[in-house]
Amino acid sequence: MQTFFIAPTDFGVGLTSISLGLVRTLERAGLKVGFFKPIAQPHPGDTGPERSTELMARTHGIKPPVPLSLGQVERMLGDGQLDELLEE
C-alpha cells in the first residue's frame, strides 16, 4: 500500500483540484484509492458537509471519513491530548 500526503503551500492553490485529478488518474490506472482530509475547512455560511470531502464522495464514489473541526483539534491540542487527537 502506498500513501501520498499532499500539502498546500498557501490558501487557494488548488489542492482540491489536484487531489481530484490524482484520484482520477490512479483509479484509471486500476488502483484502489481512498481520500482523507484530517481537518475540515468550512467556508463562511457553510452548513453542510465539508466541501472537499463531499466533492470527492460525489465525483468518485469514495466515502471518506468526516474531517475533524478546527475547533476540536485546537481544544485537544490545547488540553495536551495529542495522542487522543492522533487516534481520532
pTM over 0.95: no
Residue with cell 485546537: 74
The stretch 4-32 carries a mean pLDDT of 90
What is the overall mean pLDDT for the chain?
Answer: 90
Element spanning 27, H or E: helix 15-28
Determine the Cα–Cα distance for residues 80 and 84; give it in Å rounded to an integer: 9
Is residue 44 over pLDDT 90? no
Q: What is the pLDDT of residue 11?
A: 81
Let me know: does 35 contact 62? Beta carbons within 8 Å. Answer: yes
Residue that the C-alpha cell 475547533 belongs to:
71
Pick from 39, 23, 42: nearest CA to 31? 23
